[in-house]
Amino acid sequence: MKKNFRILALTALLATSASAFAADYKIATEGQHAFVNFRIQHLGYSWLYGTFKDFQGTFSFDEKDPTADKVNVSIDTASIDTNHAERDKHLRSADFLNVSKYPQATFTSTSVKKAQDALQIEGKFTLNGVTKPLTLQAKLMGKGDDPWGGKRAGFEAKGKIHLKDFNINKDLGPAAQDAELIISVEGIQQ
């Protein structure tokens, strides 16, 4: 009887432990399933949109326990694309991203918590050689099986950075002090 109770208790403990682990995902950057986009006001009259074409990352996701979630992303800053070659060349210069000195931007989460119907992801964002806190508001777009026998999960996240916080001091006018981040990722469970 005692032996059966121990086996039952061990089985329950293992089942509980297994469900408490977050699943690990690799961001699917091939095939246009993930995007790191931004927008910034242009003279206060319109929005200028851009993207970073080359990046990689991972995330861990536990729907029942967001505190177990983690995010790590690395962005090749030279891959900036605003659909205008001369502007992109200027954005890569020391006036803005200084890609020859700082070729990577990174985001590493420090905490994740549930915030109404979204996830609030706190982390450290490094850009242009400066590391500052960044908060992203993320929503689960969906998760489940894919047609190739794997599992996927997708999220959309939004945040905002103040350019001068990252030593981007070029004055673009009062309406262009902040850049909004719009991130859409699909991850393949590892």
| pLDDT, position 32 | 77
Q: Which fold has domain 22-189?
A: Lipocalin (2.40.128)
| Triad 185, 160, 135: Cα angle to 5° | 70
Q: What percent of the chain has pLDDT over 90?
A: 79
Which residues on adjacent β-strands are paired with residue 125?
107, 132
Measured over the CA atoms of residue 160, residue 27, residue 102 and residue 86, the dihedral's sign is negative
Tokens, residue 10 = 């061990």
The Cα–Cα gap between 123 and 64 comes to 21
Mark the ranges of the chain whose per-residue pLDDT is less than 70. Answer: 1-20
- Using alpha carbons, select from 80, 181, 178, 73 the residue that is nearest to residue 136: 181
Tokens, residue 111 = 């905490």
In the chain the first and final C-alpha atoms are separated, in Å, by 40
Are 175 and 141 contacting, i.e. CB atoms less than 8 angstroms apart? no
Cβ-in-10-Å burial (0-12, 13-18, 19+) of 129 comes to: exposed
Q: What percent of the chain has pLDDT over 70?
A: 89
The domain limits of the chain are 22-189
The DSSP bridge pattern shows strands 178-189 and 23-27 to be antiparallel
